[in-house]
Amino acid sequence: MPVQYTSIVEEHVATRTGVGLFDVSHMGRIRFDGSGAVALLERLLTRRVSDMPLGKIRYSLVTNEQGGILDDVLVYRLKDSEGSDYRMLVVNASNRGKILSWIEAHREKSDDVDLHDQTLETAMIAVQGPRAIELVQPLVSVPLTPMKYYTGAAAQIGSAHGLVSRTGYSGEDGCELIVPADAAVQIWETLLDAGKSLGARAAGLGARDTLRLEAALPLYGHELTETIDPFQADLAFAVNLEGREFIGSKSLERLRNAPPQWRRVGIELAGRRVPREHFAVRGERGTIGEVTSGTFSPTLQKSIAMAYVRPDTAEIGNEVGVDIRGQVEPGKIVKLPFYSRKSN
């Protein structure tokens, strides 16, 4: 899509105060049809799928046999324009090939499942910010204000038929649009033009990263990896173990009851130097952990980081330091998220 980005800070502030438009078409979108789709997803995902009502979207994880996180995903239950009930996974862009291979490796020959990777034939636009719904509503055929968070529906979006969902990765209100690829540019330009009076601005991945970090949303490859389990990552809510088995469930049952090796925490630094991934976190007795993501927060005007530290050092208020290129910058462990939007 034709995009003219400005500075990360301007894009960040626009999203917090007005509207930010993000081209997130790189995210993988995989559709599941057939009578065996639910059973297959139940074997693959840490959250239940069988009890999802129509229109519901659920955050879940894909884990390996050891309980390590292969990806964090959104699973949708929707009806298309022809009335067919189907499921869809939205997966991280860098993991799309890996997850497609994982699905194929665990799909049984007897499964009645039609798998369709829709990533290249569709586009995805995230419209985020306190005025996002005001901007999008005239363009879509379904009412957005009554639509609950983490729900979605088929809709007419401009001149195209697509999908609108109350989801996002910014910590702000908003929605995401999935539209045919050949209609994406027109819809994008329509939104930008209509949003001028609302402060709408095209925003890139740099701004998206500062926004999600302020909201303490984990990012795959940083807070989530194949060697991190959901309990270390503070994602126990995304694991349903009772009354079901899935890939990794036996390991996760054991890990749930075992003392954790690491805890995900937030760190706020006293100065303005920026902590980065892999920088060591120091305590009274040496290294206690490692930064996974860090930035200077445009909203808070402070340097912040998420990190994994030893559980005995993870108490809120503990004084720590981050080794930034040989100089230890003082800070403290703070409650996550760093930023929460005001509820309407």
Residue 109 has pLDDT above 90, yes or no: no
Residue ranges in 179-337 assigned as alpha helix (H): 184-194, 205-214, 249-256
| Domains identified in the chain and CATH numbers | 8-213 (3.30.1360.120), 260-334 (2.40.30.110)
Q: What is the pTM of this model?
A: 0.95
Q: End-to-end alpha-carbon separation of the chain, Å?
A: 32
For 264-311, what is each residue's pLDDT tens digit? 999 999 999 999 999 999 999 899 999 999 999 999 999 999 999 999
pLDDT of residue 5: 65
Average pLDDT for 9-27: 97
> How do residues 186-203 score in pLDDT, each as one tens digit?
999 999 999 999 999 999
**Strand arrangement, sheet containing 160-165:** 152-157, 160-165, 174-180, 122-128, 19-23, 200-203
Residue whose C-alpha is closest to residue 247's, from 108, 53, 112: 108
Q: What is the pLDDT of residue 116?
A: 97
pLDDT at 342: 79
The pLDDT of residue 344 is above 50: no
Q: Taking residues 120-131, what's their average pLDDT?
A: 98
